[in-house]
Amino acid sequence: MFETIVALATAPLKSALHIIRVSGDDCFEIVSKCFSKDIKDIKERTLLIGHIIDEGKIVDEVVLAIYKGPKSYTGEDLVEITCHGSVLIANEIIQLLLSKGARLAVNGEFTSRAFLHERIDLIQAEAINDVINATTKEAKELSLLSLKGETSKLVTPIKTRIADILSLIEVNIDYPEYEDIEVANKGHVVSLADELVPVIDNLISNGEKGKIIKEGIKVALVGKPNVGKSSLLNALLGESKAIVTDIAGTTRDIVEGEINLNGVVLHLLDTAGIRDVEDKVESIGVEKSKDAINNADLVIVLLDASSELDEQDKEILELVKDIPHIIAYNKVDKTNKPVDGISISALNNDITPLKDAVYERLGLKEETFKTPSLNNVRQLGLLKNIKESLLKAKEDALNDLPIDLVSVSLHDAYNSSLEMLGEYNQTDISKEIFSRFCVGK
């Protein structure tokens, strides 16, 4: 029994039109109670013009897109009511539907229904959210591949191969009397791990790159005071966002900005120049700079090309030594001394060498943008679980543990592959995932 749910699918703002979605077992019956025509017996996809009526009074003229389940987004009977774009009208219609027996949908509930009715698997459901949230054309295109099911296809062969060996082991354990069945031995487990681990490693690597395309990276600009961090931020953004002066210690708080670098979003953080100071405000700023270093995916350390490296520079280089970083020399316009490294002039907007170096560091190739990948935290976490479980099974097999004990880890690997597609422990994961959706999706 699927209750009938209703929600506004468009943003609650004044606009040309609004769309209200209704889905569930009694959808057609409930909508018929408020519409000028009876839609209860509609058997195929239909578009109808008519009126929403409340106790004989017209609320609005609307268009109904009527989808007979299972051929609908949710897999259930579903109606999309397109009304005029007034929030007042949309609310009136929703209230009316509620009074006739529908209930308000929670975040992601329409997509969750699609998942429960097996219209889509969990990876596709996540992709819907990714498509909505994509901020670059590239991220959207990658998410559309997942929505089409291309990403799910990466998991299915892994799941099947593990299932092959697991079922062989189970048959051996359960039916030892069947002599014509191949005996499961440690060789099977070792070769399964040897076959799948490189495949999974490749998926993890592609997934990490896909994550960069989808979410971008956090880039912190750090250096001692006055090296030109804020000037660099402004040059990258193409606007004068951060205050620039020749006074050391100008920037106190983090200044943020975003750019799209060849299809990848860089979340830029301009930080306070790092030095030992007494000033209370500035020293808090310096602490924030250090936090920014630790939370960044990439740190750009800015040095002054026109002066010698000093203790402050060296301390900063020490701070970033275990964190992915790029060193760039700024103010090359001020010196004739040759610079060994990336040299730029933020003042003159001459920053292409740094942009190129950042992009190169991302390790993205043209085909990466077209490669479906398992790229969110959940999917990458599960890939790592599968890999670890396979390695554990291999180790147990090589240590000559009885095959039924070896199979415990194989079961873990198998369950993780099911969880990836949402075929295991459905309610828990789906609740978590669909809660991130907007209402009406």
Ligand X SMILES: Nc1nc2c(ncn2[C@@H]2O[C@H](COP(=O)(O)OP(=O)(O)OP(=O)(O)O)[C@@H](O)[C@H]2O)c(=O)[nH]1
> Which residues contact ligand X by CB under 6 A?
223, 225-231, 244-246, 248-251, 272-273, 330-331, 333-334, 345-347
At a CB cut-off of 8 Å and minimum separation 6, what does 112 contact?
Answer: 125, 430, 434
List own/partner pairs for 426-433 with CB under 8 A and 24 or more apart: 426/116, 429/122, 429/378, 430/112, 430/115, 430/116, 430/122, 430/125, 433/108, 433/122, 433/125, 433/126, 433/129, 433/378
Task: Check binding of 251 to Mg ion (CB under 5 A).
Answer: yes
Query: Could you tell which of ligand X, Mg ion, none binds residue 245, using a CB distance below 5 to 8 A set by kind?
Result: ligand X
Structure letter (DSSP) for residue 339: -
Give least dist CB 256 to ligand X, A. 14
**Identity of the residue, 159 or 331, whose beta carbon is nearer to ligand X in the bound complex:** 331
d(CA 221, CA 230): 8
x-marked contacts with Mg ion along 226-245 as a string, rule CB under 5 A = ---xx---------------
Binding mask 121-160 for Mg ion (x = CB under 5 A): ----------------------------------------
82 binds Mg ion (CB under 5 A): no
Shortest Å distance, C-beta 65 to Mg ion = 54
Judged by beta carbon, residue 199 or residue 347, the one nearer ligand X is 347
Crossing angle (nearest 10°) for helices 377-398 and 122-133: 140
What 3-state DSSP class applies to 343? strand
Name which of residues 210 to 229 contact Mg ion (CB under 5 A).
Answer: 229
Q: How far is the CB of 364 from ligand X (least distance, A)?
A: 28
Nearer Cβ to Mg ion, position 250 or 306?
250
Angle made by CA atoms 326, 369, 270, in degrees to the nearest 5: 30
Choice between 63 and 237, CB closer to ligand X: 237
Report d(CA 271, CA 234) in Å as an integer.
Answer: 13
246 binding partner (options ligand X, Mg ion, none; Cβ < 5 to 8 Å by kind): ligand X
Residue 225 binds what, of ligand X, Mg ion, none (CB under 5 to 8 Å, by partner type)? ligand X
Measure CA 183 to chain center.
Answer: 43
Question: Residue numbers of the site for Mg ion (CB under 5 A)?
Answer: 229-230, 250-251
